[in-house]
Amino acid sequence: MNKALVDKFFFVPLPERKHCSSQFGGFAVFALVPLILAVVPIEAQLKTTVKVEPAQQKAMLYTTSLGAVADRWDVNAYDAATIRLLQDAGITNLRVPGNNGIDSLYHWSTGTITNPYTDDRAPAFPREKMFPAVVPVIEQLGTAIVSVNYGTNLAGGGGGEPMEAAAWVAYANGDPSNTQAIGKDSAGNDWKTVGFWAGLRASKPLATDDGYNHLRIGHPASLGILLWTVGNEPWWNGFYGQARTIGSDADASGKYGESVSPEVDLRAGKVPNSKEWGRHQHNTGVGPSVYGAAVVQYVKAMKAVDPKILVGAFVLQPPYANDADQMGKNWNAEVLKAACTSMDFSAATFWEGNIQPATTDTMDEEDLLTLARDPMDATRYFPGGNRLHYDLSQLGHDLLEKYKKFCPANHQPPLAITNLGISEWFPYKNPAAGALFSADAITTLLESGAFTVVWAPIHAPAHALSPSFLDSNNQPQPAYYGVKLIHQIARPGDVFISATSEADPGLVPLAVHAVKRRDGGLSLLFINKDQARSVTATVSVNGYSYASKGTRYDYGKATIDAGKQIMETPVDNLGSTFTVEVPRYGITAIVIPKAQ
């Protein structure tokens, strides 16, 4: 990946905000146990030199930075046990209302779901997952990123309404005493005043429900939600076609073989059932130019209520072959041409994990972690990094080109990653790969300045072959522990700093990240992507002013094979130069207090 390219359009600091604080869930305390190291002969070890420059700051970690999102059908997403696990992993940002198209159907003000079909039914979405009921969860974690309804209006007769989104901002962030009128939508619905919705949030339910009791949650204070997006992955509305599906989307539960849930867009009318969104293929009425024009109106209406919020529009990785009629063709150009001036950030999603060539169902760990494979030729690799690096580079190059052409001078909206996930139906040969991916991918994106990175989903579907974060029984999986190690090295208010391995990554596949902590300490994260050999890193810290003793945390192939979770041990002999041995296919975190 071209790091300079990424830094160029990522590195934009977030403004100060109520929930951009140092509040963070606690990391579970692990008993001191003997360190488990990979059993390999010393001569097989790899070596490198790592240089850490505390004075070279990259990006700060905010409460908005590390997020998660639930699938529409996840009935246990917000139960007490799950929230504790999210807090232990350091998740401080919850994207609502969720994935699988629910954002395009859910109307927060009425607690209803639009049925977009003439001969089918809408999916279920229980009250306990609707926004007012989830506010306590948001408060427990830290903050939220909200995907407003772009797809449907209240009556179910057209696309989403900017005034409905503006009223949502008022409900979340408004002052009950604010008499500012929000206005009427295109259907004539009066969205009253900012104070009307904020007052409902502040009040307690009435003895006799007047239809608004579901909004009365007894919360006078503003939620201070900073990040908002117009819709979620709006290209899944049929504009780029739709694969034929089996059954109704209302029955979907994330099983293998089910198609992506549609992001409904009624600007071109209803369809008979969830299999028929492909009828809208190439219909400009639901295309990127219309989305971009709508973004302008959404931003105007929402910021009239709260000018401090940041509103993002969705961008998409361009197709592999530019001359093909593929997903993403002309999307970024049309959206940015219409909306770039209004956009505070570009929302993007990355779904990684491909099938290993010559197999039918095994995860391609090389593509996931080290070297991106050409999707058109399995014998060919792209230079410069793994699949995420390649996808990010493709998107980055396309955005920089379009920013220069369509955006005002010096306005290049930074990225927010609103979905980052791995396929959960291709089993790993080595499950540790999931942890290596989450730890390296999320840290790379955050230290490059992404506004947020949201892991998806919280729970894997039942019977998933390779659950990544939490399985359907709420058991943590390898990617969860990768995220938890990020939480161990960095908390909101800490700053990512420069750390580089001088060895060729093709020969010594060691990723390194470093953090200057608010408490005066230093944290390091080493990720060894070599399946057979450990890596001995000689670490040099410029201007070392930290303690000589610290704590080491390990997780990876060796711990998984031993039936262990994250292992904690003391470490000493630290100084301006010291060595660290990172086990094969493993992650090592070192936390060093400030000097006493």
- What per-residue confidence (pLDDT) applies to 44? 60
How does residue 24 score in pLDDT terms, banded at 50, 70 and 90? very low
Q: Which amino acid is at 173?
A: N
Residue located via tokens 């306590």: 136
Q: Which residues contact 301 (CB under 8 A, 6 or more apart)?
A: 162, 163, 165, 166, 182, 183
CATH of the domain at 546: 2.60.40.1180
Residue whose C-alpha is closest to residue 138's, from 203, 93, 80? 93
- What per-residue confidence (pLDDT) applies to 244? 66
Does position 323 have pLDDT exceeding 70, yes or no?
A: no
- What per-residue confidence (pLDDT) applies to 29? 26
Contact yes or no for 363/355 (Cβ under 8 A): yes
Distance CA 264, CA 535 (A): 49
Distance CA 107, CA 163 (A): 12
How does residue 324 score in pLDDT terms, banded at 50, 70 and 90? low
List the Cα angle 232/236/241 in 5-degree steps. Answer: 165
**Least confidently predicted of 91-95, 244-248, 382-386, 539-543:** 244-248
Cα-based distances in Å from 303 to 215, 246, 321, 528: 22, 41, 38, 45
CATH of the domain at 402: 3.20.20.80
Range of the domain at 312: 62-489
The strand pairing partners of 353, in sequence order, are none
Does position 434 have pLDDT exceeding 70, yes or no?
A: yes
Is 16 part of any domain? no
How does residue 260 score in pLDDT terms, banded at 50, 70 and 90? confident
| Domain edge (last residue) among 447, 466, 489 | 489
Residues 442 and 528 in one domain: no
Task: State both tokens at 153.
Answer: 């209006």
Is 163 part of any domain? yes
Backbone angles phi, psi at 399, to 5 degrees: -65, -45
H helix count then E strand count, the chain: 12, 21
- What per-residue confidence (pLDDT) applies to 22? 33
Residues 53 and 68 in one domain: no
Residues 127 and 226 in one domain: yes
In our burial notation (b when 16+ CB lie closer than 10 A, e otherwise), range 306-334 reads: beebbbbbbbbbbbeeeeeeebbbebbbb
How does residue 246 score in pLDDT terms, banded at 50, 70 and 90? confident
| Domain edge (last residue) among 468, 489, 510 | 489
Name the pTM for this structure. 0.93
How does residue 169 score in pLDDT terms, banded at 50, 70 and 90? very high
Segment (H or E) for 171 = helix 162-173
- What per-residue confidence (pLDDT) applies to 468? 92
pLDDT per residue as tens digits for the range 28-42: 322 222 223 333 344
Is 561 part of any domain? yes
In our burial notation (b when 16+ CB lie closer than 10 A, e otherwise), range 335-370 reads: bbbbbbebbbbbbbbbebbbbbeeeeebbbbbbbbb
Is 2 part of any domain? no
Residues 542 and 465 in one domain: no
Is 333 part of any domain? yes
Distance CA 270, CA 291 (A): 18
Is 302 part of any domain? yes
Distance CA 194, CA 580 (A): 56
Segment (H or E) for 106 = strand 106-107
Q: How many domains does the chain have?
A: 2
The CA-based diameter of the chain, rounded to the nearest angstrom, is 77
Distance CA 428, CA 359 (A): 12
Residue whose C-alpha is closest to residue 526's, from 513, 516, 509? 513
Task: State both tokens at 517.
Answer: 């902590």
Residues 67 and 41 in one domain: no
How does residue 445 score in pLDDT terms, banded at 50, 70 and 90? very high
Q: Is 421 helix (H, G, I), strand (E, B) or coil?
A: strand
Does position 26 have pLDDT exceeding 70, yes or no?
A: no
Q: Which amino acid is at 142?
A: G
Mean local confidence (pLDDT), 131-147: 98
Residues 287 and 320 in one domain: yes
Is 519 part of any domain? yes
Residues 52 and 84 in one domain: no
Residues 512 and 460 in one domain: no
Task: State both tokens at 291.
Answer: 């989305």
Cα-based distances in Å from 299 to 107, 277, 302, 478: 18, 27, 5, 38
How does residue 138 score in pLDDT terms, banded at 50, 70 and 90? very high
Cα-Cα-Cα-Cα dihedral of 217, 222, 225, 229, to 10°? 70
Q: Which amino acid is at 196?
A: F
Is 407 part of any domain? yes
| Domain edge (last residue) among 489, 507, 537 | 489
Cα-based distances in Å from 41 to 44, 371, 533: 6, 26, 9
- What per-residue confidence (pLDDT) applies to 325? 62
Mean local confidence (pLDDT), 177-195: 98
- What per-residue confidence (pLDDT) applies to 41? 42
How does residue 357 score in pLDDT terms, banded at 50, 70 and 90? confident
Q: How far apart are the first and last CA of the chain?
A: 39
Task: State both tokens at 181.
Answer: 């009128």
Residues 153 and 250 in one domain: yes
Task: State both tokens at 459.
Answer: 């729970």
Per DSSP, helices labelled H in 28-141 are 80-88, 131-141
Residues 513 and 464 in one domain: no
* Better pLDDT: 319 or 97: 97
Residues 354 and 498 in one domain: no
Q: Is 183 helix (H, G, I), strand (E, B) or coil?
A: coil
Residue whose C-alpha is closest to residue 396's, from 378, 384, 408? 384
Per DSSP, helices labelled H in 102-161 are 131-141
Task: State both tokens at 366.
Answer: 């090389």
Residues 451 and 463 in one domain: yes
What is the DSSP code string of 48-72?
EEEEEEEEEEEEE--TTTEEEE--T
Does position 154 have pLDDT exceeding 90, yes or no?
A: yes
Average pLDDT of every residue of the chain: 91
pLDDT per residue as tens digits for the range 39-80: 334 446 899 999 999 999 999 999 999 999 999 999 999 999
Neighbours of 128 (CB within 10 A): 12
